[in-house]
Amino acid sequence: SQKIEQNSEALNIQEGKTATLTCNYTNYSPAYLQWYRQDPGRGPVFLLLIRENEKEKRKERLKVTFDTTLKQSLFHITASQPADSATYLCASGDSGYALNFGKGTSLLVTP
Amino acid sequence: GAVVSQHPSRVICKSGTSVKIECRSLDFQATTMFWYRQFPKQSLMLMATSNEGSKATYEQGVEKDKFLINHASLTLSTLTVTSAHPEDSSFYICSAPGQGAYEQYFGPGTRLTVT
């Protein structure tokens, strides 16, 4: 079955460092991957989308890569801040269809 | 940006009763909405796809007679948990596709507790 895996359940880093989160997919080849942020008790918020033919995408302090050989997407937050602490979800899905989510990685940025 | 609201944000009900959760797209129309369920420290799991003017499509293992979905207008979908039991206690979240049809906009979620 199609799987999206975020193997790291939690990541703790110091403020100012770069956080790198990993998303792996198996048994299929998604045309694109998306990253969402979810705060406790809230719904996910869309951050970035990257297509399979795009190696890298940036938005402010965020950067996403898509490696179809490794079947992996990396999500980077540079110059991390305590306000970046949240759970980050990787997801895939066809246009107009529901998303298939990974379990998420809980990021904690400490001062 | 597109905004999706949910009501109520929290609800506590007794076992055996029914609970209705509303999902509204506030500034755009949504012919399709999705209902997810999320247990603690787990991923969002799709329950059903709500289609305006037609029957919802349920995922395998989700009882359509227990989780009634009505998408009566282009801005409102409702999920009714009938004869709720403690194991139905969860975080229910709806979403609607954005203009680009790839990204989705999520409601703030509804925390259901069945006692």
Q: What is the rounded distance in angstroms from the CA atom of residue B6 to the CA atom of residue A100?
A: 21
Residues of B in contact with A44 (CB under 8 A): 44, 93, 95, 106
Q: What is the rounded distance in angstroms from the CA atom of residue B14 to the CA atom of residue B4?
A: 28
pLDDT at A48 over 80: yes
What pLDDT does residue A21 have?
A: 97
Which of A31-35, A71-75, A91-95, B21-25 comes out lowest in average pLDDT?
A91-95
What pLDDT does residue A95 have?
A: 62
pLDDT tens column, A73-97? 999 999 999 999 999 999 987 666 7
Q: What is the rounded distance in angstroms from the CA atom of residue A92 to the CA atom of residue A99?
A: 6
Contacts of B63 (CB under 8 A, 6+ apart): none
Q: How confident is the model at residue B101 (pLDDT cuts 50, 70, 90)?
A: low
Distance from CA of B107 to the nearest CA of A (A): 6
Q: What is the rounded distance in angstroms from the CA atom of residue A76 to the CA atom of residue A84?
A: 11
pLDDT at A70 over 70: yes
Of B32, B43, B106, the CB nearest to A103: B43
pLDDT at B31 over 70: yes
What pLDDT does residue A93 have?
A: 77
Residues of A in contact with B36 (CB under 8 A): 98
Look over chain B and give the mean of its residue pLDDT values, rounded to a whole number.
93
A5 neighbors A102 (Cβ within 8 angstroms): yes
pLDDT at A49 over 70: yes
pLDDT tens column, B37-57? 999 888 899 999 999 988 999
